[in-house]
């Protein structure tokens, strides 16, 4: 009897220490969850930060990971629409599927940019009807997504509301400092005009008062034709655009061709925090991005 009581006691103490298992789609969301949950969460990111989250397959090993999760956090705004619904349904985990307490849509609380106006259809390319999903590059908007994560964590772990709330407050301060640091770095480049290959940097431009001067892509998700590259390249040359931002997921040959036609410098920047290597946290991600702009933009 004594042994049984000891076992019961140990089981309860184990349960009391059990961490909330959170699976996120991107390392950027994983970083946010870690900041709010700290030692009360165990976080796994499905992507490692080098992939293009628009275009991945629903990997079966992800289904196993999601089947054990208490919370599933995703970027939303249709970024993962091609694969996340399949991973969720195949997991058989009601807690994290739509309607479940652990279903955490980061984009739900973000005041989205680039929301298309009027009727949209597929002739317009890969349009995101709810807005641009790359909000993590704008600290203000990234913090808005943190609200969704906070709401989900307090729903799943009601005993630790104050703990998560205090961490959210600390996160606000931390992100504010990061924003100030990056703004200070970019101060000398205020007002420069930057193009991008795809509209990944809208939130970054908005938060740091940089002028977005269109994108090389004419139709989102569709590689531009040779004619489009030439037209937009010549226009960039005439307009004296200061810089073009691309990511490792963008086609390098197109960026090179654009640079050849326009003479506008091209900077390839990381789009996401990486699970291994640099950038390993949010500050590093934004500081790297700012430094690459400083190093490459025309004087």
| Residues of this chain that bind another protein (CB under 8 A) | 46-48, 50-52, 54-61, 63-64, 67, 81-86, 88-94, 97-100, 122, 221-223, 249
Contact assessment for residue 126 and residue 134, using Cβ atoms and an 8 Å cutoff: no
Q: Do residues 16 and 8 make contact, with C-beta atoms less than 8 angstroms apart?
A: no
Reduced to 3 states (helix: H, G, I; strand: E, B; else coil), residue 131 is coil
Instruction: Estimate the crossing angle of helix 27-37 against helix 161-186, to 10 degrees.
Output: 130
- Residues 140, 204: Cα–Cα separation, whole Å: 9
Q: How far apart are CA 159 and CA 112, in angstroms?
A: 32
What is the nearest approach in angstroms of another protein to the Cβ of residue 4?
Answer: 25
Q: Strand 266-269 and strand 243-247: pairing?
A: parallel
Comparing CB distances to another protein, the nearer of 84 and 112 is 84
Place of tokens 């703004």: 183
- State the minimum distance, in angstroms, from the CB of residue 172 to another protein: 31
- Nearest residue (CB) to another protein, 202 versus 247: 247
Beta carbon nearer to another protein, 218 or 283: 218
Q: Which is nearer to another protein, 56 or 294 (CB)?
A: 56
Q: Are 264 and 238 in contact (CB under 8 A)?
A: no
Cα 78 vs. chain centroid, distance in angstroms? 12
Which two tokens mark 71? 């919370």
Nearest distance from C-beta of residue 129 to another protein, angstroms: 11
What would the two tokens of residue 144 be? Answer: 């808005």
96: nearest Cα among 35, 30, 21, 19:
21
**Distance, CA of 233 to chain centre:** 29
57/169 with CB nearer another protein? 57
Closest contact distance (angstroms) between CB of 260 and another protein is 20
Please give the angle made by the CA atoms of 49, 52 and 57, to the nearest 5 degrees. 105
């Amino acid at each position: 009897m004594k042994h049984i009581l000891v076992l019961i006691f140990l089981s309860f103490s184990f349960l009391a220490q059990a961490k909330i298992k959170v699976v996120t789609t991107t390392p950027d969301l994983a970083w946010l969850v870690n900041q709010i949950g700290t030692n009360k969460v165990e976080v796994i990111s499905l992507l490692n930060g080098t992939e293009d989250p628009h275009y991945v397959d629903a990997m079966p090993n992800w289904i196993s990971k999601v089947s054990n999760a208490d919370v599933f956090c995703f970027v939303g705004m249709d970024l993962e629409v091609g694969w996340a619904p399949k991973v969720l349904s195949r997991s058989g985990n009601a807690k994290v599927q739509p309607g479940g307490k652990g279903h955490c849509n980061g984009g739900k609380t973000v005041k989205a940019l680039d929301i298309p106006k009027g009727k949209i259809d597929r002739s317009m390319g890969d349009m995101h009807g709810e807005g641009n999903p790359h909000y993590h590059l704008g600290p203000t908007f990234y913090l808005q997504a943190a609200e969704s994560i906070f709401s989900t964590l307090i729903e799943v772990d009601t005993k630790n509301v104050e703990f998560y709330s205090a961490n959210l407050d600390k996160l606000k301060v931390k992100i504010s400092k990061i924003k100030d640091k990056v703004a200070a770095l970019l101060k000398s480049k205020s007002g420069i005009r930057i193009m991008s290959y795809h509209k990944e940097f809208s939130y970054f431009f908005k938060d740091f008062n940089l002028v977005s001067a269109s994108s090389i892509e004419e139709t989102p998700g569709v590689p531009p034709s040779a004619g489009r590259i030439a037209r937009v390249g010549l226009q960039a040359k005439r307009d004296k655009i200061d810089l073009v931002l691309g990511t490792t997921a963008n086609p390098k040959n197109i960026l090179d061709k654009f640079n050849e036609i326009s003479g506008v410098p091209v900077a390839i920047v990381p789009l996401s925090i990486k699970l291994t290597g640099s950038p390993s946290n949010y500050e590093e991600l934004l500081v790297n991005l700012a430094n690459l702009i400083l190093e490459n933009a025309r004087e």
